[in-house]
Structure 1
């Protein structure tokens, strides 16, 4: 009961937990597909790419969730489309194109926030304020999570085909492949914007990618990996918030640090490829 005491006693802890749970259920499946498509660093790039749009929304309307969210979505999608166009029509590879755009976006966003805000505002944008999540923020994050899960269910089959054999999907229907890829990028950006509202632009990708990477050592097959990633993200959210309360740690980094610890534990003892995983010993040719 001691572990649940903060959530029973304090409303801000309950809101923070619900926000992290919503992100855990919607963002981690997208992280699994990013890993399958070898686009894990694209998630990090897009999390920084939303910053200029959010900063412009901040300059116009202050700390308005709607303005910063809309600006972040526009900026993230613009960077994704521009990076794809550059990699398609120039010799530059997609990872290098994303790196160039996201580094420029990060610098521009920090500069824009610094023009009007204080160092406290800059820290709020970069690292979030998980324990300050209010009801409008919680409604926005929960709505994005619900819509993301619905759309992901609708495009699940072609998305799986695109992850394992993109050439086959393009050969079947080129426009379907483009539509699926576009919807997937929109879902990634919107979930990063939702995470940006809670964990900040530097931390939001952690809850998306770390449980997804750790799930590789626990889940069997794609459905198992997705389920494992969700469970690991929920455990990281709960343990991180408990640690932040009792150890006086910043809440957002504590959640991401918990996810990182689960990732390292998975590398060591995960049953599907962990370094020190338990192996059955054999007597002759029979396993015991």
Structure 2
């Protein structure tokens, strides 16, 4: 019994330890700023990812982003630039070759194992610290230095400006591409431009939560928001709030532990989704009850 309690205490101290928390907090201020930028970017672009049914594309882009970052790590180049190159290459390929959903899924299914295989190869050849290798897959809480923070903020601003400029045509195209094309909207250009913005957002996300768990920030918050509202104004707001809570909350919880940031971010994001889903189910039942009573 005593050994069991001791083991439980050791496990708890690995998951949550707030000793010297104030000093540690000063070391990760860059990660918190980057996480906040990522929360806003991921929350907004995630709404369109859900509307366009492109969650699978996020994962496909992240694998080539991982390959690009791994190559940069191996050859001593800027990891953010490598991640950007891989993301944009995947995004453009998917955008150009995957106009139809069936073609898009096939292309993504081909790119994912290729990108993951390349990334693993580059990491296997990399002679440096194992923490750098692991961080590209699952995120690192102290991996964001000042130059990286500048890159991440700059990329985030580009994505936000692009989304604001494209918001109306992109919303129209996401809801009904055929009608949008009939109204004169250049749907092909809009789709390709969105893929480029998505590639940039994925590259930013990989730097914080790692390549394997990007979906927790670019898909789950928006999916949760859509469970509790259908308002074109409230859904993006809720998605951004959920993403911010997930990533900043995950960083703050991971700060006192020896574990990567990603388990905390994904757990918070998942809990938010479950709660929103339960709320959505309860509202739907209430609406059906009112309709049956009125009938």
User: Is the contact made by 1:16 and 1:130 (CA closer than 8 Å) also made in structure 2?
Assistant: yes
> C-alpha offsets along residues 73-128 of structure 1, whole Å, 9 cap, x if unaligned?
33223223334554469x96321221111121111111122112354332122112
For residue 227 of structure 2, give the secondary structure of its aligned residue in structure 1: coil
Q: Is the 8 A contact 2:91 2:198 kept in 1?
A: no
Q: Say yes or no: does 1:185 pair with 2:224.
A: no
Aligned to 1:37: 52
Name the SS of the counterpart of 1:132 in structure 2.
coil
Contact 1:129/1:198 (<8 A) preserved: yes
1:45-75 superposed Cα distances (whole Å, 9 cap, x missing partner):
11112122222222222xx4xx333332332
> Structure 1 92/6 Cα, relative in aligned 2: closer, same or farther at 3 Å?
same
> 2:95–2:192: 8 Å Cα contact kept in structure 1?
no
Q: Are 2:209 and 1:199 equivalent residues in the alignment?
A: yes
* Structure of higher RCO (CA pairs closer than 8 Å, 6+ residues apart): 2
Give 1:170 shift.
Answer: 2.4
- Corresponding residue for 2:265? 255
Superposition map of 1:109-188 within 5 A: 109-117=119-127, 119-173=130-184, 176-188=186-198
CA contact (8 A) 1:19 1:142 kept: yes
> In 1, distance between residues paired with 2:68 and 2:258?
32
Residue pair 1:113, 1:121 contacting (<8 A) in 2 also: no
Return the alpha-carbon distance in structure 2 between the equivalents of residues 248 and 56 of structure 1: 26
The question of 1:274 aligning with 2:285 is answered no
Structure 1: gaps (5+ residues): none
Q: Deviations over 1:117-167 (max 9, x none)?
A: 354332122112123322222222222222211111100010001101111
2:41 corresponding residue in structure 1: 26
In the alignment of these two chains, the number of paired residues is: 273
Residue deviations 1:204-244, cap 9 Å, x none? Answer: 33211111111112334122110000111122233323332
Query: Cα–Cα, structure 1 residues 55 and 9, in superposed 2: closer, same or farther, change >3 Å?
Result: closer
The question of whether the paired residues in 2 share the 8 Å contact of 1:214 and 1:266 is answered with yes
Contact 1:54 1:69 in 2 (8 A): yes
User: TM-score by structure 2 length?
Assistant: 0.81
Give me the TM-score of the superposition, normalised by structure 1: 0.83
Deviation at 1:7?
A: 6.4
Distance 1:222 1:241, change over 3 A: same
**What's the offset of the Cα at 1:249?**
4.2
Structure 2 residue ranges without an equivalent (≥5) = 1-17
1:54 aligns with 2:61: no
The alpha-carbon distance between structure 1 residues 220 and 168, as it changes in their structure 2 partners (threshold 3 A), is closer
User: Which moves more between the two structures, 159-168 or 140-149?
Assistant: 140-149
Q: For residues 6 and 179 of structure 1, do their structure 2 counterparts lie closer, same or farther at Cα, with a shift above 3 Å needed?
A: farther
Aligned twin of 1:245: 255
Q: Deviations over 1:4-46 (max 9, x none)?
A: x946872123322221111010122111101101111111111
